[in-house]
Structure 1
Amino acid sequence: MATVHHWSGLEAHALRLALRLSVRAFAEHLGVAVRTVSKWDKLTTATEPRPDTQAILDTALARADAAVHLRFETLLSEAGRPSAVGPGRRGTASGPRMWDYESWADDLDRAVVALSRQNFTFASSLLNRWTNRWRSLELDDKGLYLFARSTALLGDVQRDQGTVLGPLSAQHAYSSARSIFAQLDIPRRIAQLDLSLAVVAEMSDHLDLAAREYESLAVDDRLSRRDRARARLWVGTALSKDGNHDYATRVMTAATREFEDLTEPDDWSVAHQKLALARRGAGDLTEALHFIDIARSSGTTDSPMQRVRLDTAHGHILLSDRATRDDGLVILDQAAKVAAQYGLVHQLRSIEGVKAMSAGPTDPRRR
Structure 2
Amino acid sequence: MATVHHWSGLEAHALRLALRMSVRAFADHLGVAVRTVSKWDKLAAATEPRPDTQAILDTALARADAAAHLRFETLLSESGKSLGPGLRASPAGGRGRVTAGGPRMWDYESWTDDLERTVVALSRQNFNFAASLLTRWINRWRPLELDDKGLYLFARSTALLGDLQRDQGAVLGPLSAQHSYAGARSVFTQLDIPRRVAQLDLSLAVVAEMSGKLEIAARHYETLAVDDRLSRRDRARARLWVGTALSKDGNHDYAARVMTAATLEFEDLAEPDDWSVAHQKLALAHRGAGDLTGALHFIDIARSSQATDSPMQRVRLDTAHGHILLSDRATRDDGLVVLDQAAQVAAQYGLVHQLRSIEGIKAMSEGPTGLRRQ
Return the alpha-carbon distance in structure 2 between the equivalents of residues 327 and 158 of structure 1: 32
Q: Does 1:306 align with 2:313?
A: yes
Structure 1 residue 209, shift from structure 2 partner: 0.6
8 Å contact kept, 1:8–1:93: no
The letter of the residue matching 2:63 is A
CA distance change for structure 1 residues 237 and 172 in 2, over 3 Å: closer, same or farther? same
Structure 1 residue 242, shift from structure 2 partner: 0.2
Structure 1 residue 12, shift from structure 2 partner: 6.1
8 Å contact kept, 1:15–1:61: no
Question: CA offsets, 1:91-149, max 9 Å, x none?
Answer: 32421111110010000000000000000000000111111111111111001100110
CA distance change for structure 1 residues 101 and 337 in 2, over 3 Å: closer, same or farther? same
Return the alpha-carbon distance in structure 2 between the equivalents of residues 95 and 127 of structure 1: 17
2:162 to 149, 155, 174: 155
8 Å contact kept, 1:12–1:57: no
8 Å contact kept, 2:181–2:200: yes
Return the alpha-carbon distance in structure 2 between the equivalents of residues 192 and 157 of structure 1: 16
TM-score normalised per structure 2: 0.83
Query: Which residue of the partner structure matches residue 32 of structure 1?
Result: none
8 Å contact kept, 1:174–1:196: yes
Structure 1 residue 82, shift from structure 2 partner: 6.0
2:65 to 59, 62, 71: 62
Question: CA offsets, 1:137-169, max 9 Å, x none?
Answer: 111100110011001101111000000011111
How many correspondences in the alignment? 342
Q: Secondary structure at the match of 1:197?
A: helix
1:316 to 320, 323, 338: 323
Q: Secondary structure at the match of 1:313?
A: helix
Instruction: Give the unaligned 5+ runs of structure 1.
Output: 30-39, 45-52
8 Å contact kept, 1:158–1:169: yes
Query: Which residue of the partner structure matches residue 198 of structure 2?
Result: 191
CA distance change for structure 1 residues 236 and 105 in 2, over 3 Å: closer, same or farther? same
Percentage of identical aligned residues: 76
Query: Which residue of the partner structure matches residue 101 of structure 2?
Result: 94
The letter of the residue matching 1:79 is S
Query: Which residue of the partner structure matches residue 77 of structure 1?
Result: 77
Structure 1 runs of 4+ with >4 Å offset = 10-13, 20-29, 40-44, 55-59, 81-85
Q: Does 1:125 align with 2:135?
A: no
2:294 to 287, 309, 312: 287
8 Å contact kept, 2:5–2:84: no
Query: Which residue of the partner structure matches residue 34 of structure 1?
Result: none
Query: 1:99-118 alignment to 2 at 5 Å?
Result: 99-118=106-125
Return the alpha-carbon distance in structure 2 between the equivalents of residues 247 and 290 of structure 1: 19
Return the alpha-carbon distance in structure 1 between the equivalents of residues 175 and 47 of structure 2: 40
Structure 1 residue 60, shift from structure 2 partner: 2.4
CA distance change for structure 1 residues 70 and 217 in 2, over 3 Å: closer, same or farther? closer
Query: Which residue of the partner structure matches residue 201 of structure 1?
Result: 208
Return the alpha-carbon distance in structure 2 between the equivalents of residues 353 and 204 of structure 1: 14
Greater CA radius of gyration, 1 or 2? 2
TM-score normalised per structure 1: 0.85
Return the alpha-carbon distance in structure 1 between the equivalents of residues 60 and 288 of structure 2: 68
CA distance change for structure 1 residues 237 and 330 in 2, over 3 Å: closer, same or farther? same
Return the alpha-carbon distance in structure 1 between the equivalents of residues 152 and 15 of structure 2: 29
Q: Does 1:238 align with 2:241?
A: no
The letter of the residue matching 2:199 is Q
8 Å contact kept, 2:279–2:298: yes
1:218 to 216, 225, 228: 225
8 Å contact kept, 1:236–1:251: yes
Return the alpha-carbon distance in structure 2 between the equivalents of residues 57 and 260 of structure 1: 60
CA distance change for structure 1 residues 252 and 9 in 2, over 3 Å: closer, same or farther? farther
8 Å contact kept, 2:273–2:308: no
Q: Secondary structure at the match of 2:372?
A: helix
Return the alpha-carbon distance in structure 1 between the equivalents of residues 292 and 60 of structure 2: 72
The letter of the residue matching 1:156 is D
Structure 1 residue 300, shift from structure 2 partner: 2.8
Q: Does 1:353 align with 2:356?
A: no
CA distance change for structure 1 residues 276 and 56 in 2, over 3 Å: closer, same or farther? farther
8 Å contact kept, 1:16–1:26: no
Return the alpha-carbon distance in structure 2 between the equivalents of residues 193 and 82 of structure 1: 34
Structure 1 residue 61, shift from structure 2 partner: 3.5
CA distance change for structure 1 residues 26 and 221 in 2, over 3 Å: closer, same or farther? farther
The letter of the residue matching 2:261 is A
CA distance change for structure 1 residues 56 and 92 in 2, over 3 Å: closer, same or farther? farther
Alignment root-mean-square deviation, CA: 3.1
Q: Secondary structure at the match of 1:365?
A: coil
The letter of the residue matching 1:18 is A
Return the alpha-carbon distance in structure 1 between the equivalents of residues 252 and 5 of structure 2: 63
The letter of the residue matching 2:65 is A
CA distance change for structure 1 residues 26 and 83 in 2, over 3 Å: closer, same or farther? closer
